[in-house]
A and B are shown apart, each in its own frame.
Chain A
Amino acid sequence: MRPLAYARVSTVAEAVEIVAADPAGAFLAGGTTEIDLVRLGVARPDLLVDINDLPLHDIEDLPGGGVRIGALARMSEVARTPVIAGRYPGVAQALLLGASQQLRNMASMGGNLCQRTRCAYFRDGVSPCNKREPGSGCSALDGLNRGHAVLGTSEHCIATHPSDVAVALVAFDAVVHTAGPGGARRIPIDDFYLPPGDTPDRENPLRHGELITAIDLPPAGIAERSVYLKFRDRQSYEFALVSVCAAVRVEDGLVTEARLALGGVGTKPWRSRLAERRLLGAPATAESYAAAAAYELSAAVPRRHNTFKVELAQRAIVRGLTQAARGGMR
């Protein structure tokens, strides 16, 4: 492991100032992503600024019905908070289906949003990888790409974003709050994730030294009947081959409102707006779900080992919508 310095801060302003001042500085929250990447030689900070003492741990109701989740709230805490479990079941399920209990106890929400891809070429530290070393090429395009994305890909990178909870957050239009050298910002979560394009090394619009302070969920509405389904090779402790966050409102047999987002198949947590539009006004049947799914996936660009994901994602969407239409998981 590279030698590095460590600092512990107690205010947001201090955290921002110290990291902003050091081009090789980085925030450290739960460390479940950051320390791995430092050990692997993929992240190369000279200074880790520990933010765990900052007052960003709370989960509070917002006037008007939404919820504010502090950036340092732990995944496990958020999942078991009654407001989240009760009003945003898809969010709670996405959290509980991620990582392991031990990791969830350690991992923060802010860190979760910033976690890096699990692409093995990115993490091995030596293979050509545009995300790790811009301009070096993408080993996954013609390599082992079973786990890679089929939506939102570019010629430069096809890595998936691995977060589960981010999928649920994009489904329900969460907003990311930040504090940075230039002041505070609020970024709608769908804009928080950048498609790889020709700069796959840039995954989000955070400037150096900009800190996530909170994540706001708007009033629940349809989220209250949401589901999150995750399909993977083993039954726990693995990232998704495909995951689906879905919520549907059905009146008189017709879909009047729908939310759909996908994990495991997109280069970013994938809000499925094409499918959502297709569903509006359609009969709440497996056929219309399948048609909407096919429409969403029509833009998919599969590679040698992940072709199956195009089909798997569609079947998963049908399962998700069917279950959501039945009234969610309860």
Chain B
Amino acid sequence: MNTAIGRPVDRVDGHAKVTGGARYTAEISLPGLTYAAVVGARIPSGRVESVDASRALSAGGVLAVLTHENLPKIAGQPRLLPSLLGAAAPGQSFFPMQDAAVHYAGQPVALVVAESHEQAQYAASLVDVAYRREPSITAIDEGRDRVYEAQRLFGGLMPGRDERGDVGTALAEAPVRIEAGYRFAANHHNALEPPATTAVWEDGRLTLYDSTMGIRATQLTVAHLLGLPLSHVRVITHFVGGGFGSKAMTWPHVTLAAMAARHVGRPVRLALTRAQTYTSNGHREEQEQRISLGATRDGRLTAIRHHKLSITSHFDDWAEPATGVSSQLYDVEHYEGVHSLIHGNTMTPTFTRGPGETLGVFVLETAMDELAYELGVDPVELRLRNHARTDPRGNPWSSDGLAECLRLGAERFGWHGRDPRPRARRDGDWLIGTGMAAAAYPVAFFMPEQRARARVYEDGSAVVQTGTQEFGTGVLTVATQVAADALGLPLESVRFEAGDTDLPNTSAAVGSAGAGMVSAAVHAAATALRDRLVAMAVTDADSPLHGADPAAVEVADGRMRLRDRPETGETYADLMIRRRLADAEEVGSWTPPPLTTPHGLLTFGAQFAEVAVDPGLGLIRVRRMTGVFAPGRVLNPKLARSQLMGGMVWGLSQALLEGNEMDTRHGRWGASNLGEYLVPVNADIPEITVEFVEVEDDVVPLGIKGVGEIGQVGAAAAVANAVFHATGRRLRRLPLAAELVMDPPASS
């Protein structure tokens, strides 16, 4: 049978996007719409002494200026929990403009509402805020005397420490030890679309158009903050211009838009400026990591100690977990992972693509490269030798594939026969090197029940719905493919609808879990509907299928037929018209296996890179990259490849370009636009090869482990290891800026 799943189907929303037909949140226009602009604090710590709004209020078109003095109090502050959990998910457990305190630069201190976006922006510049500045800590270097060990992370969801065995003794006794510390600049997400929210009240009910990765999370969070019944909050999201974690949680501006709309009694659109995206939706925290590996002379790991130190806000113990992979990927008896924090004057950091583990794996995999050199073992072989067969509890992997990824990657890349000596290859002014890294990323599993609805009409066309949202991953397309196959309909006959909390619920699409859980719910609904129609046919005396065993019936192209006698059958349409059914509908649901499932849950991959380094000028050019991944079932190879390639580009970017420095005197980020915060341009991106290794997985939904993060993980390490191979130098910071790479280093 011809299936849609597994085919490189074009995006169903592609046409709308390239023709401008797709409407993003800041483009939704409504009658009577007004516009809000946020005034962000200029200081990182202290108090608002006074706000003089008189100049702003007398500017053209201004309807209101809200400050802590006249903004109503929130009804209650929900706990910070990851949105995947399906509960309220505020990005931080602090809501601004409730009092005069300032905790971070950019914190909203006033909100201006006006008749046009331009008028609101201009009036915002006229709000005179007087501050009392207090001392601040905005970088790790300023807070080294206040480091504390995090007991729990993520609003208490995860322990800050993970240990087994006796690391101290094992490291002390290890015949070979590798120890290294790394510094990483803060990262921002830089989604193309800055977040926007439009709020409309009608009879005490709130409708929010929001650019979010989780409409359900927005609904729950805003309802909690405003004390509204859930039934009174509806969230609609048609298209989102990228998230990468920045829209995974519900940040204060969303609720502020609702409060402003209630205040002026008209719909309000609040669109953050590009500069405000650096202080409004979290970031990947500035951090340091230290790792120690202990190993035997024949290259078996005996112990790993992996510590992370990072800076969080004053109100949350937030750290991206960095030790989930280093504790599991390799078979190592003694392990210690610790997260330490400093309270600082930044907003609460948040998920950023490849949350936590991307840098954790960077540290692990550069240490493995050093170990390979120390032992004189090939880096691929060292990974193969140490890869764990089970997770640390002794549970088998739900599916593995690491060894196959490493082997296929080595073959495709042409790894074999590599001369491991550093500085061995040259091309004019360029030193050439190759490097690799293993990749792994945890499969996230703590979402609640996910639901979808499927409906078939009497003409044999179908509508399938669920409350997820499209932010560029292609979920609308893969869900259409899943529904078409489960219903036995051609792809063109299925319309998939999402982006509305009035539809059956799913969780926020984060942690690479989106495609899997949405597909599972859609599959459940569509299968239930098909089963019902088949049951109807086999019990209908007028049907050619009367009396057949339902299990012997298959559906293809909308026609139910006997599997071994395909000429016997009828279409959905025949059946429904005869039975005078205009449509038929089922809701289906999928519940993840319990967290205690006796399986290890990691997605595996392998990354290879070749770089050219001009040491005199400190330039690095990546010449080619190969990534091989085992993400379970691939619903749409075209979309999956794009996702994985995009991840690899992120990894390259993280290695070479990305980082935001803090000006600690002002407590403000150095970069606040895409001219200053560097991401790669086309010219920086080389030929990229993406390959899949097939693995069967019957633990994760539909066998799908996800492709959102794994493409990024390990890519930066492969690049940095290649830089070592080219130059013979280990550089212990990211990004690898010219001044670090220059050799001989710049003196004076």
B122 CB-CB contact with A under 8 Å: yes
B670 CB-CB contact with A under 8 Å: yes
A106-125 interface code vs B (CB 8 A; 1 in, 0 out): 00000000000010100010
CA distance A41 to B682 in the complex (A): 31
A13 CB-CB contact with B under 8 Å: no
Closest chain-B Cβ to A81's Cβ sits at a distance in Å of 24
Q: For chain B residues 128-168, which have a beta carbon within 8 Å of chain A?
A: none
A7 CB-CB contact with B under 8 Å: no
A sample of 15 inter-chain contacts (CB < 8 A) reads A3-B122, A124-B668, A126-B42, A127-B668, A139-B666, A231-B617, A234-B681, A235-B683, A235-B684, A307-B746, A310-B748, A311-B746, A312-B746, A319-B616, A319-B617
A residues near B746, Cβ cutoff 8 Å: 307-312
CA distance A109 to B526 in the complex (A): 62
Chain B minimum-CB-distance residue to A300? B748
Chain A minimum-CB-distance residue to B275? A124
Chain A minimum-CB-distance residue to B125? A41
Closest chain-A Cβ to B572's Cβ sits at a distance in Å of 51
Q: Could you say which of A120, A143, A144 has the most chain B C-beta atoms within 10 Å of its C-beta?
A: A144
Pick the contact of A234: B125, B429, B683, B742 (CB < 8 A). Answer: B683
Q: A120-B672, A144-B663 are in contact. List 20 more A-B contacts (CB 8 A).
A: A1-B118, A41-B125, A120-B671, A124-B672, A126-B42, A143-B663, A143-B666, A233-B656, A233-B678, A233-B737, A234-B657, A234-B681, A234-B684, A235-B681, A236-B681, A238-B678, A307-B739, A310-B748, A311-B747, A319-B617
Closest chain-B Cβ to A282's Cβ sits at a distance in Å of 21
B618 CB-CB contact with A under 8 Å: yes
Chain A minimum-CB-distance residue to B121? A1
Let me know if A235 and B617 touch, CB within 8 A. Answer: no
Let me know if A315 and B616 touch, CB within 8 A. Answer: yes
B738 CB-CB contact with A under 8 Å: yes
CA distance A235 to B683 in the complex (A): 6
B427 CB-CB contact with A under 8 Å: no
A residues near B617, Cβ cutoff 8 Å: 231, 312, 315-316, 319
CA distance A1 to B683 in the complex (A): 34
Contacts from A to B (Cβ < 8 Å): 1-3, 41, 118, 120, 124, 126-127, 139, 142-144, 146, 231, 233-238, 241, 302, 307-312, 315-316, 319
Let me know if A234 and B678 touch, CB within 8 A. Answer: yes
Closest chain-A Cβ to B346's Cβ sits at a distance in Å of 16
B417 CB-CB contact with A under 8 Å: no
CA distance A146 to B670 in the complex (A): 11
Pick the contact of B738: A139, A241, A302 (CB < 8 A). Answer: A241
CA distance A124 to B275 in the complex (A): 9
B665 CB-CB contact with A under 8 Å: yes
CA distance A311 to B748 in the complex (A): 9
Let me know if B657 and A233 touch, CB within 8 A. Answer: yes
CA distance A179 to B621 in the complex (A): 46
Chain B minimum-CB-distance residue to A311? B746
Closest 6 A/B residue pairs (Cβ): A311-B746, A308-B739, A308-B746, A235-B683, A236-B683, A144-B670
Q: For chain B residues 627-686, which have a beta carbon within 8 Å of chain A?
A: 656-657, 661, 663, 665-666, 668, 670-672, 675-676, 678, 680-684
B60 CB-CB contact with A under 8 Å: yes
B residues near A231, Cβ cutoff 8 Å: 617, 619, 738
Q: For chain B residues 93-143, which have a beta carbon within 8 Å of chain A?
A: 118, 121-122, 125
CA distance A2 to B121 in the complex (A): 9
